[in-house]
Amino acid sequence: MTTPSRYEKDVSWRARYRTFFYAARGIGTLLATQWNARIHLACTIVVGGVGFWLGLRAVEWCLLVFAIGLVWVTEALNTSLEFLVDLASPEIHPLAGKAKDVAAGAVLCAAMVAVVIGAIVLGPKFMKLF
């Protein structure tokens, strides 16, 4: 029996568990270092609470969950890109700034889509209440 090299993939259940730990640590880093991620968390909680209060149907939940997920994914990718740019270019460089701006713009686009979806799903239900 030979010892596996460090380049061979570990396919054990323990290795799979570690991947979830690393992912959770990444989400923790996102929330600990990014003010906007905390704003997204607050909005996620509010929209979720309003959705339960209004008794949304399954398809409405799907739309909201998709929109919320889109914002979270773009925020996480934006943050990881910012970390990588800071590592690769610690000094100020115009291209580094452009990369960060484009990634931030993607988050803004996702957030605007989420607001529109939220208005389409939640707006009519609010109008019925008032």
Please tell me what DSSP assigns to residue 92: -
Mark whether 75 is an active-site residue. Answer: yes
Catalytic site residue from 8, 75, 82, 91? 75
Which CA distances in Å does 106 have to 39, 58, 73, 93, 98? 16, 28, 10, 20, 12
How many whole angstroms separate alpha carbon 117 and alpha carbon 111?
10
Using alpha carbons only, give the angle 47, 52, 54 rounded to the nearest 5 degrees. 90
Rg of the chain's alpha carbons, rounded to an integer?
20
Positions marked catalytic: 75
